Amino acid sequence: MTLIGRTHARGVETLSLDSPHNRNALSAALVEELASCLADCAKDPEVRAIVLTHTGNTFSAGADLKDPPDPAALVGLLRQIVELGKPVVARVTGHVRAGGLGLLGACDISAASTESTFAFTEVRIGLAPAVISLPLLPRTDPRALARHYLTGERFDAAEAARIGLVTTAGDDVDAVLEPVLDGLRRAAPEALAATKRLLTARVLETFDRDAAGLTALSAQLFASPQAREGMTAFLERRDPSWVVV
């Protein structure tokens, strides 16, 4: 079963997360297939830029709790997006949760529709947004991120744009992206790659410094009793035992 749709138009390759049965959750299989598609795009001289989008009303629900990716594989995917020598643009017209927000943080430019919603839900199931912090912490407002990390509150596209989680938001996301993609098509490929390296240097320093520790933290938390209770409660559609009512 193919989990990533692919189309090409005028130098732009569009990769669509297409796993409707789990709301495009980041399963081990989806992470592997997306990494393979990105590698193909990196080698293809006909691809000037990549748009990462989704089918359905959810960009990504976060990690697939029934088939989670290995933390090291998720680190590898996020780093691959950051290091890719071509711009990667996220196009969001739905909901984004937890690990899906890491994909937005790794992309060079992210545009969302005003109908989109966002939430770092990890703390509500006994986890922490560890691995996805690698691209997010260098690029997102730290005070706002503290609130959203610690509470798991849902927030809208305007707030996501205000804090730097997405670049821009609008009622018609394709209209918002039209001048962006036009600009990328007009740019020289080698100049794009060199400019992207300038922009991502600080993010890659975070990967070099913190990836091993955050990968270990993620694995530790996934194996914890609180995470088992949190994930079980989520799948059973009930509050976990620690909720104070």
Give 159-168 pLDDT, tens digit per residue: 999 999 999 9
DSSP state for residue 69 in the 8-state scheme? P
Q: What percent of the chain is modeled with pLDDT above 70?
A: 100
**CB proximity list for 219: less than 8 A, separation 6 or greater:** 71
The pLDDT-based confidence of 134 (bands split at 50, 70, 90) is very high
**Would you call 31 exposed, middle or buried from its count of C-beta atoms within 10 A (0-12, 13-18, 19+)?**
buried
Specify the pairing of strand 155-156 against strand 117-119.
Answer: antiparallel
Confidence check: pLDDT of 209 > 90: yes
pLDDT at 149: 98
Mean pLDDT of the region 185-196: 98
- Domain spans of the chain, in order of start: 1-173+189-245
H or E element in which residue 191 lies: helix 189-222
Rounded Cα–Cα distance for residues 220 and 242 (Å): 19
Mean pLDDT of the chain: 97
Mean pLDDT of the region 92-107: 98
- The model carries a pTM of 0.96
Domain spanning 1-173+189-245 has what CATH number?
Answer: 3.90.226.10
H or E element in which residue 204 lies: helix 189-222
Confidence check: pLDDT of 1 > 90: no
Mean pLDDT of the region 103-109: 98
Rounded Cα–Cα distance for residues 125 and 63 (Å): 12
Q: Which two tokens stand for residue 205?
A: 């320093």
**CB proximity list for 154: less than 8 A, separation 6 or greater:** 117, 118, 119
Specify the pairing of strand 58-60 against strand 95-97.
Answer: parallel
Q: Per residue in 46-65, pLDDT tens?
A: 999 999 999 999 999 999 98
pLDDT at 185: 98
